[in-house]
Structure 1
Amino acid sequence: MLQFELLATDSSSHARRGTLTLNHGQVQTPIFMPVGTYGTVKGVMPRSLEEMGAQIILGNTFHLWMRPGLDVMGGFGGLHGFEQWHKPILTDSGGFQVWSLGDMRKITEEGVHFASPVNGDKLFMSPEVSMQIQTVLNSDIVMQLDECTPYETKGHITTEDEARRSMEMSIRWARRSKAEFERLGNPNALFGIVQGGMFEHLREESLQQLLELDFPGYAVGGVSVGEPKDEMRRIMAHTPHRLPRHKPRYLMGVGTPEDLVEGVACGVDMFDCVMPTRNARNGTVFTRYGDLKLRNARHKSDHQPLDATCTCHACAGTSGVAWADGGRGGFSRAYLHHLDRCGEMLGPMLTTIHNLHYYLNLMREIRAALDAGRFGEFRQRFASDRARGV
């Protein structure tokens, strides 16, 4: 089941505000979806995700197929029961992970033959297999199997002909994905994925052919795969607003806070990216006033919180009061710098909580601005604040 209600639009851009209803609940859009590759958002309890405002999270079809496997997943009725997350879940198709295997895989019209990165077993992923796995996972949003068109391979930038061949195979795989999804009687929603590399006319061809299949929602794939930022922004500006107005639009694997705000301006409803969690584990945190590198020696004796305007547990403690308002229940930059230097697991747990809270709060502020008809003002203020620096 999927229903999408468009609530508001912005007159100065393609930004929009909506409500997405899925089998496991409602999602207010625009939304950022935390990534839980192996059935967990690393270092964060499900309860903490709910408290910080996560409405939908991701699971990874490829990795969950490898471990723990479909027998285990089926025994729990799917991913929700296994990881104890009872709100919506989106699962990717496994296409990106197969693409990232490089020389360990061979792509044919039928699907992808590859060696398991876990134990070396010879395996096969096809549109049909991907649909079967995702049906067992019982994810609210299922993604078609596509071929992720690379920007370059071993120094060779993908040509238009190569991008076309890849895009056209993804279209054929979209048809097969839909046929298998329907054969299985999957009660959830299947999204098609627009491909075409860095070529706008290929993106439009892909989009038009996918529209004929009438998916409940559409994604833009094949970005954030190594291309320069200006190339990614060019495709982001071109494609999302051309997708159906009455269906949800998902930009896959993007990105920085700036990417999210500009993506919303381009008409995107849904985002995911490993950046807030991965960067947190590497000592980089996002704040209202720019990015902060916790490993820098200047933070050794710094009494400030990560972000004085933030109400996450790392910044404001259990009080929920930011330091700027007089609360001092959170943790200092000096303490978090110390935890990182010592390799203490509490360090990346707290920075992950902060980064996800920042991303989810950013989306809350975007939704509020759209509700108030002030997205243009918000966009300018956001850019000014981020440029100020920490």
Structure 2
Amino acid sequence: MAAARVAAAFICRSPESITIDKVSLTFNIHHTTEAGGRRATMQLPHAAVETPVFMPVGTVATVKAVPQHILEELEAQIILGNTYHLYLRPGHEAIRRLGGLHRFMSWERAILTDSGGFQVFSLSELRKVTENGVEFRSHLDGGRHFFSPEHSMDVQIALGSDIAMAFDECTEYPAEYARARSSLDLTLRWAERSKRHFDAHKYERPWDERFAGQTPNLFGIVQGGMYLDLRRESAERLVEMDFPGYAIGGLSVGEPRERTREVIEATLPLLPKDKPRYVMGVGYPDEIAEYARMGVDMMDCVLPTRAARHGLLFTSEGRMNIKNRQYAEDQNPPDVHCGCMVCRRYTRAYLRHLMAAQEPLSAVLNSIHNLAFYLNTMREVREEMSRAAAAQ
């Protein structure tokens, strides 16, 4: 019955092929579904990315506990770098001198960098927001720093990512309407400044002869809190600015999951159908699969690795707390239906032992499994779409 429901959801329409920018980004839609999902290929300067895609978070030029060759074996296509953290350490100019973030971290595939806006938002006791930008204190040493839209663009250009994000203010939850209105107005002004500065300086990225003439791509971010009319206005104004892709931000900040879905469902139809659509910072495996089927092309979340470090594993039978005593002598793999390198070799008993002994290998193995589960979830959604298209 469940399989029948899935098959019914993937009724495919005629293929589309859209070119956004002949140099830096093409987005080729292979087929779409009745529910709005899209199977596509996004060509970026460093790599082609099959969408819908989950993007592991590599905050400080590393996906925590997982080396790059393992990420390649897991078939991660694109990962995230964090502008705020890389600016503080080792510094964007150092990374520029070392050839850019790809060369610095030995990652040949695609990278998306966030703007630093969310991290500055999280420093609520250490920041001051003005029209010009945000003054904040470093969480490392308390030193004062200032991020403006222009500076965020300079840092991301220096890092040399494939996709950069406009500088925005992430609205907290809950927020009164007037507060959300004011925050949105500021974010829209910052978006204009981000795009103007980015377009003027994007060729200043770290030099690499393999990608001569290719530039990073700047995505706009839809904000507006939980207010759908503000979300509509944000989307419409950003579309007028003509970014090559759009993100839905300001989610997973404490709101109920039903509200998250409501905002995504209301915002997606407002964004261009021929450009990539990215939902930032979500969610659990069942949620990312649902959002992909609704028409989201890109998603990221720290949850797979963060949960792994606390012993929470995602499996085909639900979430598993590997610290529980019941697994002390369990000889089954973490997920009997998973073929990842961890499940092929290790038992629940062993993973529980590593957690109990506080061995660093625990975080490594748990993270590899969780990332494999997330990446496989998106791969299965893509394959469902392809099978449905072939059956038409």
TM-score, normalised via structure 2 length:
0.89
1:2 pairs with one of 14, 25, 30: 25
> How far, CA to CA, are the matches of 2:364 and 2:139 in structure 1?
27
> How far, CA to CA, are the matches of 1:77 and 1:49 in structure 2?
21
Q: Is the 8 A contact 1:314 1:353 kept in 2?
A: yes
Determine if the alignment matches structure 1 residue 166 to structure 2 residue 183.
Answer: yes
130-139 vs 114-123, which moves further: 114-123
Q: Is the 8 A contact 1:241 1:266 kept in 2?
A: no
1:308 pairs with one of 336, 340, 356: 336
Q: Is the 8 A contact 2:236 2:270 kept in 1?
A: no
Runs of 4+ deviating beyond 4 Å: none
Deviation at 1:40, TM superposition (A): 0.2
Determine if the alignment matches structure 1 residue 347 to structure 2 residue 362.
Answer: yes
Partner residue in 1 for 2:12: none
Deviation at 1:249, TM superposition (A): 0.3
Q: Secondary structure at the match of 2:171?
A: coil
Determine if the alignment matches structure 1 residue 148 to structure 2 residue 170.
Answer: yes
Q: Secondary structure at the match of 2:80?
A: strand
Partner residue in 1 for 2:127: 105
Q: Could you list the runs of 5+ residues in structure 2 that have no partner in the other structure?
A: 1-23, 204-214
2:49 pairs with one of 27, 34, 49: 27
TM-score, normalised via structure 1 length:
0.90
> How far, CA to CA, are the matches of 1:150 and 1:161 in structure 2?
13
Q: Secondary structure at the match of 2:349?
A: helix
Determine if the alignment matches structure 1 residue 117 to structure 2 residue 139.
Answer: yes
> How far, CA to CA, are the matches of 2:65 and 2:220 in structure 1?
31
Question: How much identity, in percent, do the aligned residues show?
Answer: 49
Q: Is the 8 A contact 1:14 1:241 kept in 2?
A: no
> How far, CA to CA, are the matches of 1:196 and 1:175 in structure 2?
16
Q: What number of residue pairs does the alignment pair up?
A: 356
> How far, CA to CA, are the matches of 1:275 and 1:119 in structure 2?
27
Distance 1:374 1:8, change over 3 A: closer
> How far, CA to CA, are the matches of 1:160 and 1:2 in structure 2?
36
Letter in 1 for 2:130: T
Partner residue in 2 for 1:61: 83
Instruction: Give me the CA root mean square deviation.
Output: 1.1
Determine if the alignment matches structure 1 residue 336 to structure 2 residue 351.
Answer: yes
Letter in 2 for 1:74: R
Deviation at 1:241, TM superposition (A): 3.2
Q: Could you list the runs of 5+ residues in structure 1 that have no partner in the other structure?
A: 152-156, 317-329, 376-390
2:376 pairs with one of 361, 365, 372: 361
1:209 pairs with one of 237, 243, 247: 237
33-42 vs 180-189, which moves further: 180-189
Question: Residue deviations 1:90-146, cap 9 Å, x none?
Answer: 000000000000121000010001111122221100000000000000000000000
Q: Secondary structure at the match of 1:343?
A: coil
Partner residue in 2 for 1:294: 322
Question: Residue deviations 1:205-235, cap 9 Å, x none?
Answer: 0000001100000000000011111111111
Letter in 2 for 1:181: F
> How far, CA to CA, are the matches of 2:102 and 2:72 in structure 1?
14
Distance 1:374 1:3, change over 3 A: closer
Q: Is the 8 A contact 2:168 2:190 kept in 1?
A: yes
Q: Is the 8 A contact 1:57 1:89 kept in 2?
A: yes
> How far, CA to CA, are the matches of 1:340 and 1:38 in structure 2?
24
Written as runs of structure 1 = structure 2, the 5 A alignment for 1:160-309 is 160-186=177-203, 187-309=215-337
